[in-house]
Copies of this chain bind each other. A is one copy, B any other.
């Protein structure tokens, strides 16, 4: 229930339903018919998604993303929603879609068994017609036995959630500077060896099983990745 409240609040923030702060906790309690603890758990989630600054005695302030000229990708927001970039949804073009066996490298990358079967989906993605990234995604068939070609064109996560009732829980993310190999460079139509930002992600179900892992190469100019941390104060 607090998940739904959080989701609704996030929706309201993104569609600018609130001026600059959230309503007070008491107001939220009334509008969602929930206890204070539940409201606060929901707000914790929204906060963890990097959308709020909280000030005791004052309120919850919405963090307005600055940086006009540049595209900002909020990494604190859930992995399944990274497709929601500022300038609108990403359009994708599937370049590889098949089943393979995990080799040593993939097994290590995705924490899966060697030779286990994987769906492989590589997609070029575009933002407002401009090439944005190349996403190399893998899904163990032990968890996702069937993936229709249609779903691959759109949101694979949405399909999986709907069809298999698999709820994602956490994602480990690794960002690094990568020199593009020939294959990736060709697909992205840039020079081999060019340095780009890449993001490797591993998605775990609530029970700790990997249901997806991927590597994404970003080529969109001046892209900025945003995230949000909280510090532990003591003494």
* Interface residues, chain A, with chain B CB atoms under 8 Å away: 3-4, 6-7, 10, 44-45, 48-50, 53-56, 58, 61, 63, 66-67, 70, 72, 75-81, 108, 111, 161, 167-177, 195-197, 204, 206-208, 222-235
A81: chain B residues within 8 A (beta carbon): 231
Copies of this chain, how many?
2
A contacts with B: majority SS: mixed
| 4 pairs of A and B residues whose beta carbons are closest in the complex | A78-B231, A167-B233, A175-B225, A168-B231
Asked whether A75 lies within 8 Å of B176 as measured between CB atoms, the reply is no
- Contact A196-B225, Cβ < 8 Å, known A3-B233, A168-B231: no
Q: Which one of B44, B53, B176, B204 lies within 8 Å of A170 (CB-CB)?
A: B53
Known A-B contacts: A4-B234, A45-B232, A173-B229. Give 10 more (CB < 8 A): A3-B234, A49-B232, A72-B174, A78-B232, A80-B231, A170-B228, A170-B229, A170-B231, A175-B224, A175-B225
Asked whether B228 lies within 8 Å of A3 as measured between CB atoms, the reply is no
A176: chain B residues within 8 A (beta carbon): 70, 197, 222-225
Asked whether B108 lies within 8 Å of A66 as measured between CB atoms, the reply is yes
- Contact A79-B232, Cβ < 8 Å, known A66-B108, A175-B224, A207-B55: no
Asked whether B171 lies within 8 Å of A7 as measured between CB atoms, the reply is no
* C-alpha spacing A227/B55, complex, angstroms: 25
Asked whether B229 lies within 8 Å of A75 as measured between CB atoms, the reply is yes
Asked whether B232 lies within 8 Å of A56 as measured between CB atoms, the reply is no
The residue in A108, A161, A231 that gathers the most chain B C-beta atoms within 10 A of its C-beta is A231
* C-alpha spacing A174/B65, complex, angstroms: 11
